[in-house]
Amino acid sequence: MAQIINNSAVDPNKILPMSYMWAREHYKNGVANNWVPEEVSMQQDVEQWKSPSVLSETERHLILWNLGFFATAESLTANNIVLAIYQHVTNPECRQYLLRQAYEEAVHTDTFIYCCDSLGLDPDMIYNMYQTVPSIKAKDDFVIQLTTSVFAPGFTTQGLKNIQRFIHDLIGYYVIMEGIFFYAGFAMMLALKRQNKMVGIGEQFEYIMRDESIHLAFGCDLINTIKAENPEIWTPQFQAEIIELVKHAVILEKAYAYDACPQGLLGINADQFSEYVEYIADRRLERIDLPKVYGRKNPFPWMSQSTDLSKEKNFFETRVTEYQTAGSLEW
């Protein structure tokens, strides 16, 4: 039987034949979604940013908070993949996917360089926000302290406790960081785009969200495969610990949402961003076979259309003619 971790028989250079076709599928989906930030014009965004009348103070604050969070969060994610996950996941098709994901994180990092450059933002201000803005710092600190086992010198994935630590950290990277902490920001920037404001950045956020939905799907498939191959680790106690982590993450993401957008946006109140975070968290829990906690309805049904690639959008038609797996996207 195949073993995705702790398989001493695996030759990391021998990718064929494959055991985990889902990893291959996610790789292909990532390639089909290929993009770079320079393909999106920032002309209108620059005009709106410089105009004294187009954007309200609330909207400017929201844009800065989201650029500040994502500018460093993308590097943090890239570092976790390359420095922590890659050495323990030796399966070749998973590693092929991890290399693709690492590249996409480089594209996302590049997106925020492009945004800072085109809007003429102060890089010291933006790139220090994860230290200076408490609601952003709290999220990053939470992920960093949550995901330290895999970074510890000499850490191996041998034995029940260590496999649990590894799953715990993977949940920190994928389910919490990419799956929960990115989503209030996605909803805010796409809500702004729907009002025809900062549509260039909004379009870049749509591309990032599509990439992230695949990262999240890969991460959940990896987590679920390790669970299926090592069922003894998925104890009721460990499941309860994971649910508590997710609940704590939701509190931090809701605090971030109120801090980034205290007054809400035209037609959206701040509470709806917070409800959206709870709705998303339930979906993440269910994806790794845990029960829902919040039972919220999706306050933003339009968010699903932003990742549903079967509904082709204007900007997308020029780049991707066919997309294979609209059904497996996470949002």
Min CB(196)–Fe ion separation in Å: 25
Secondary structure string (H, E, C) spanning 233-273: HCCHHHHHHHHHHHHHHHHHHHHHHHHHCCCCECCECHHHH
Tokens of 309: 């690639």
Interface with Fe ion (CB under 5 A): 74, 105, 108
Give the one entry of Fe ion, Mn ion, none that residue 287 binds, where binding means its C-beta sits below a cut-off of 5 to 8 angstroms depending on kind.
none
Beta bridge partners of 160: none
Active site residue 130: no
97 vs 234 by CB, closer to Fe ion: 97
User: Pick from 203, 209, 139, 127: which is nearest to 172 by CA?
Assistant: 139
x-or-dash pattern for Mn ion, window 151-190, by CB under 5 A? ---------------------------x------------
Buried b (16+ CB within 10 A) or exposed e, 85-118: bbebbbbbbbbbbbebbbebbebbbebbebbbeb
Catalytic residue among 20, 27, 114, 256: 114
Nearer to Mn ion, 178 or 203 (CB): 178
Q: Which is nearer to Fe ion, 80 or 164 (CB)?
A: 80
Is 215 a binding residue for Mn ion by CB under 5 A? The answer is yes
Contact of residue 206 among Fe ion, Mn ion, none (CB under 5-8 Å per partner type): none
CB 74 within 8 A of CB 108: yes
Which residue in the shown chain puts its C-beta closest to Mn ion?
Answer: 215
Does residue 197 touch Mn ion according to CB under 5 A?
A: no
Chain center to CA of 303: 15
Residue number with CB closer to Fe ion (167 or 216) = 216
Residue 139 touches which member of Mn ion, Fe ion, none, C-beta under 5-8 Å by kind: none
Report the distance separating Cα 283 and Cα 303, nearest Å. Answer: 14
String marking each residue 264-303 x if it binds Mn ion according to CB under 5 A? ----------------------------------------
**Tokens linked to 86:** 């890659």
Contact residues for Mn ion, defined by CB under 5 A = 178, 212, 215
Q: What residues act catalytically?
A: 114
